[in-house]
Amino acid sequence: MAFKDIAGNKPTTDRLRESAADGSVFHAYIFEGAGDDVKRKIAWNFAKAILCGSKDGDACDDCPSCRKADHGNHEDIIYITAEGASIKDEVVEWMQGRLKKKPLEGNRNIAIIDKADTMTLRAQNRLLKTLEEPCGGNVIMLLSENAGNLTSTIRSRCILHRIRGEAKNLMTDEQAVKYSLMETASGIVSGRPLYELAPRLAEIGKNREEALLILDILEIWFRDMLLVCCGSQVGIANADQGDALAREARLHRPADLMIIIKNIEKAKKDLNMNINAGYALKSMLLGIQEEKDDKSCRHQV
Q: Mind listing the pLDDT tens digit for each residue in 156-214?
A: 899 988 887 654 444 445 555 555 666 666 666 666 666 666 666 666 566 777 778 77
- Asked if 215 and 267 touch (Cβ cutoff 8 Å), the reply is yes
Return the SS3 of 250.
coil
75-79, 129-133, 215-219, 244-248: the lowest-pLDDT one: 244-248
CATH of domain 3-170: 3.40.50.300
- Asked if 189 and 219 touch (Cβ cutoff 8 Å), the reply is no
Between the CA of residue 102 and those of 45, 106, 108, 136, what are the distances in Å?
Answer: 22, 9, 8, 9
Q: Which long-range contacts (CB under 8 A, 24 or more apart) does 64-70 make?
A: 64/105, 65/105, 65/106, 68/105, 69/44, 70/1
pLDDT of 238 strictly over 50:
yes
- Asked if 257 and 189 touch (Cβ cutoff 8 Å), the reply is yes
The CATH 1.20.272 portion of the chain extends over 194-300
The CATH 3.40.50.300 portion of the chain extends over 3-170
pLDDT on residue 89 = 93
Asked if CATH classification 1.10.3470 holds for the domain at 194-300, the reply, yes or no, is no
Q: What is the largest CA-CA distance in the chain?
A: 59
Return the SS3 of 110.
strand
Indicate the pLDDT class of residue 131, thresholds 50, 70 and 90. Answer: very high
Between the CA of residue 75 and those of 44, 78, 98, 102, 103, what are the distances in Å?
Answer: 14, 8, 10, 11, 8
Q: What phi, psi does 77 have (nearest 5°)?
A: -110, 120
DSSP category for residue 28 = E
Starting from the edge strand earliest in sequence, which strands make up the sheet with 77-80, in order?
Answer: 77-80, 110-113, 139-144, 28-32, 159-162
